Structures are given as C-alpha cells and as structure tokens.
Amino acid sequence: MATRGMELRGDLAVDYLYEFVNQNRGLSIYDLAKKLRWSTGKVYNIVKVLEEVGLVRTEKSEEGGRIKKRVYPIDWNELLPEDVKKELHPSSSERL
C-alpha cells in the first residue's frame, strides 16, 4: 500500500496516514515513513496533528538502544461524545 508516484499533501496526506495507522497499528514513525516512502519529518508532523486532534496516540519504546515512537489509533468508542457513551454504557445506578 505504498504511495509510489503519489505526492499527497495537506488534508489528503493526513487522511491517508490516519487510515494507514488504523491498518498498521503500532508502527514507529520511521517504519511508517519507510512503508509510505515519505520523509520521517512529514510523517512526524502529520502524527503530531493527528495527536493534537485526538485521533492517535504515541508511545515511546526502546529498541537496540534507540528510542522509537510508536503510533496507535484511538479506539472508536473513545471518540464518541460523552452523552453517546453514557447511552451505550449506563452506570449501574442508572440501570435500576
């Protein structure tokens, strides 16, 4: 699913990377860049945007003495508005 010959920019690049992260959970920023044939800077900047809007989270891990930042999508149920969450998972006192 590499983007050979395609230079995605702006919202298209953000959307594409978000979908790619959903299908490839836990890859490092470096690995994402390598698979997409994008620069690590481009991937890092887009991941930062996705983190700021709450669509992904990153976790730091150490491998071979190097720190890697792994990227994970936020679970869909965490993205729901609070009132919808309450309807899906009412507390025990509300069920009585």
Q: What span, in angstroms and rounded, lies between the C-alpha atoms of 88 and 27?
A: 31
Does the pTM surpass 0.85? The reply is: no
Q: What is the amino acid identity at position 21?
A: V
Which single residue is written with the structure tokens 């679970």?
A: 75
State in words which class domain 10-95 has: mainly alpha
Q: What is the pLDDT of residue 4?
A: 45
Q: What is the pLDDT of residue 88?
A: 72
Interval 59-80: pLDDT, tens: 999 989 999 999 999 987 776 6
Local structure of 37: helix, strand or coil: coil
Q: Using the predicted structure, report yes or no on whether residue 45 has a pLDDT greater than 90.
A: yes
